[in-house]
Structure 1
Amino acid sequence: MAMTGQNVCQMHGGKAPQNLAKAKERITEQRAAEIVATYGRKIETTATEALLDEVQWTAGHVAWLRERVQEIEAGEVSGADGEHPLVWGKTREKRGGEDFGTTEEAAPSIWLKLYQQERAHLVKVCAEAIKAGIEERRIRLAEQQGALVAQAIRAILEDLGLSPEQQARVPDVVPRHLRALAS
């Protein structure tokens, strides 16, 4: 029977160093392929969409981590000596061996570290989005869409052949309905 990651058994060369090395490489590649299949896959997108998605996902991560930090903050001060849980706590716990036990020391909470890292990442992706001119493009697109809507409304009103009295009401009626759409 062939050894794991190989085409041969141990009796026919499976224990040879080069075969063991190749088997290890094949197993690693197979595990990597399995991880990629579960972690992520190629999707159709554009650079602009991907950057905007990253801004939005990162903003969500920051908000979620902020909640975790605020939960710790809500617990306020813990311990007899008034140590704050965001900067003092368990940093290591080892079971077994001569150096077993729990270590507590002053160090930033992992939640605080993750929050700070994600905030820095958010600033970075926002800066990249600004540098790429995405917001300006979105504004131009919204302005173009607004101009098209206004042009369509003018054409509709013209085709209706409104009376002078009805035409006088247009400046009040149309904006009111457009504001209702926006809210």
Structure 2
Amino acid sequence: MALDGQNVCRHHGGNAPQSLRAGERRVTEERARVLVETYGRKIETTAAEALLDEVQWTAGHVAWLRERVQEIESEAAVAATDREHPLVWGVTREKSGGEDRGTTEEAAPNVWLKLYQQERTHLVKVCSEAIRAGIEERRIKLAEQQGVLVAQAIRAILGDLDLTVEQQARVPEVVPRHLRALAS
């Protein structure tokens, strides 16, 4: 059977120092490739897009962590254990060897609660940065500009259609109705 990162077994040259080094290098390169695929890689973006993405991802993380904390809260409510509530009381240390081996339980924030609070703090920070960068104002301005372009296009289309007086009278009713349907 071939050794890790090699095409040969130990009996056919796989134990040679250069083969072992080459195999280690190939394994390391493969692990790095997998990490890049799973953890992330460089992508084309702008600072504004990256900041907005961070706001949205962080909001998703906060919502997910809130669900975990609420699950713990609801389990505690069913068990009715206020004195040793799992959000503030539990195992904080487990050690299997040495004189100080054993399990330590004490009052301390649950790890899910800590993560939730940290992510909430991060969300406030990235939202503040987005506001400071004027991202929302730019999005509103862009939407307004797009609205003006759509209105100009509609006016030009209606002008080219040579509508009858009756058809022109229906324009203020029909066009806004269809635009509202697009917005919803």
Counterpart in the other structure of 2:72? 72
How far apart, in 2, do the equivalents of 1:88 and 1:101 lie? 17
1:141 aligns with 2:142: yes
Root-mean-square deviation over aligned CA pairs:
2.5
Matches within 5 A, 1:110-149: 110-149=111-150
Deviation at 1:83, TM superposition (A): 1.5
Percent sequence identity is: 76
Cα offsets for 1:58-117 (capped at 9, x unmatched):
001000000000001111255867311100111111112221211111000000000000
Using a 3 Å threshold, how does the CA distance of structure 1 residues 162 and 30 change in structure 2: closer, same or farther? closer
Kindly state the Cα deviation for residue 4 of structure 1 after the two structures are TM-superposed. 10
Matched residue, 1:40: 40
Secondary structure in 2 aligned to 1:75?
Answer: helix
* 1:18-37 alignment runs, 5 A limit: 37=36
- Structure 1 residue matching 2:90: 3-state secondary structure: strand
Q: Which residue of 2 aligns with 1:60?
A: 60
* Normalised TM-score (structure 2): 0.78
Letter paired with 1:116: Q
Q: Distance in 2 between matches of 1:34 and 1:167?
A: 63
2:126 is the alignment partner of 1:152: no
CA separation in 1, counterparts of 2:83 and 2:162?
A: 78
Over 3 Å counting, the alpha-carbon distance change for 1:138 and 1:99 in structure 2 is same
- The structural deviation recorded for 1:40 is 2.6
Matched residue SS, 1:103: strand
Match of 1:95 in 2: 96
Aligned position for 1:84: 85
In 1, the alpha carbon distance for the partners of 2:19 and 2:91 equals 41
> Could you tell me which amino acid in structure 2 is paired with residue 76 of structure 1?
A
- The TM-score, its normalising length taken from structure 1, stands at 0.79
The whole-number CA distance in structure 1 between the counterparts of 2:131 and 2:86 is 37
Q: Quote the offset at 1:55 in angstroms.
A: 0.5
Distance 1:167 1:80, change over 3 A: closer
- Residue 176 (structure 2) pairs with residue 175 (structure 1): yes
Assess, with a 3 A threshold, how the Cα gap between structure 1 residues 112 and 81 changes in structure 2: closer, same or farther: closer
Give the counterpart letter for 2:107 in structure 1: A
Residues 117-154 of structure 1 deviation map (CA, whole Å, 9 limit, x = unaligned)? 00000000011111111111110100000000000111
Q: How many residues align?
A: 163
Of 116-125 and 43-52, deviating more is: 43-52
Which consecutive residues of structure 2, in runs of 5 or more, have no partner in the other structure? 1-15
1 CA distance for matches of 2:148 and 2:178? Answer: 16
Q: 1:68 to 1:106 in 2, by over 3 A?
A: same
